[in-house]
Amino acid sequence: MLLTEIYLRILYFYPKHIERMKVEFTDDIYMKAALLEAIKGKDKGEVPVGAVVVCDNRIIARGHNLTETLNDPTAHAEMQAITAASSFLGGKYLDKCSLYVTLEPCTMCAGALFWSRIGRLVYGADDEKRGYTLNKNSVLHKKTTVVKGVLEKECRGIISDFFKTRRQNLTG
Ligand SMILES: [Zn+2]
């Protein structure tokens, strides 16, 4: 994880340098950045979900779940990332951007993604209990393309480990 983190930091601060290194900009790279965000959340005792927004191969916003820290049930990773990205771009539409999130968005976040007109949504693990795809009609904007299952194993692992540890702490 340490090497990945160093690598992602270089990518964030020196995108041109990375271009010269001929590193390919793949969904995996950005999902790793979202996983790093999830870890930041976990370190704060939050349910570990992380998100990043990418525009022109550059990460312009990051977010992780902050519902406990902020005492705010709407403080999901995607909401943080959408707000930060809009503020960075100085506009409310993210149609040229991709949002990467480790877990399938809930209906609230899918609704926010609708309003942002996000160009692309990429997520790792399905959320069988709260995922937006449980709705009969899609909540997303019709122009949004969706890719799922990117680093699915890692994305699922971080959240299932978290709940396993929490259950053990509660019962042990
Ligand atoms: Zn959500």
Ligand 1 mean position, distance from CA 42 (Å): 16
Q: What is the pLDDT of residues 13-59, one digit of tens each?
A: 655 555 555 556 799 999 999 999 999 999 999 999 999 999 999 99
Ligand 1 mean position, distance from CA 29 (Å): 22
Q: What is the pLDDT of residues 64-90, one digit of tens each?
A: 999 999 999 999 999 999 999 999 999
Ligand 1 mean position, distance from CA 109 (Å): 4
What is the pLDDT, as a whole number, of residue 24? 67
Say what the pTM is. 0.86
Q: Which one, of 88, 98, 136, 102, lies nearest residue 118 by Cα?
A: 98
What is the pLDDT, as a whole number, of residue 166? 86
| Residues with catalytic function | 78
What is the pLDDT, as a whole number, of residue 42? 94
Q: Which one, of 32, 44, 160, 50, lies nearest residue 103 by Cα?
A: 50
**Amino acid (1-letter code) at residue 6:** I
